[in-house]
Amino acid sequence: MAAGQGLRRDYSWDGATRSVEMWPREKRWYGSLGLYYPGPGNHWRNHKGISRGVVQEGQQHFVTIAKATTWLKEQKWQPLVWNNSGLVVGWSKTPERQQLNVDVWQLYIDGKKPTKLPGANDKAITYETEKELQKKRP
């Protein structure tokens, strides 16, 4: 996935890329404001059975690492990976709904990004900053 201009997000899988314009949340949803796109209708050209995206991103704030770990374990509806700095990504497909589901969260512990989280896999999520991407562009 890639963040584009403004609220645009691009999602790539199996050789295709589809995009959405995220919507800012006006009210908290399970503790987070953030951005979302509810995937109204089949808004994408079908690719391998997927024609809609239901996506969200935001922050989750916890007082302790234990509470954050409990929250991560409770998110059972799709597999999550996270790194030690609290970046969390969930990515799954729901074929019967022709749907791609993507969640991106930044966890905060006592107002700060963590430096170590139980179950973290720092190799599971890779990312590049805009500055790094600009260096690659011709």
User: Token pair for residue 1?
Assistant: 């996935």
- Find all residues with CB under 8 Å of 34, minimum gap 6, and list them: 24, 25, 56, 57, 58, 59
Tokens of 18: 């589809």
Domain assignments of the chain as residue spans, ordered by start: 2-136
* Sheet with 23-24, side-by-side order of all strands: 23-24, 35-37, 52-62, 99-109, 87-94, 80-82
Q: What is the predicted pLDDT for the residue at 118?
A: 97
Structure tokens at 49: 């059975």
Tens of pLDDT, residue by residue over 4-56, are 889 999 999 999 999 999 999 998 888 888 999 999 999 999 999 999 999 99
pLDDT confidence band for 138 (50 / 70 / 90): low
**77: CB partners within 8 A, 6+ apart:** none
pLDDT at 17 (0 to 100): 96
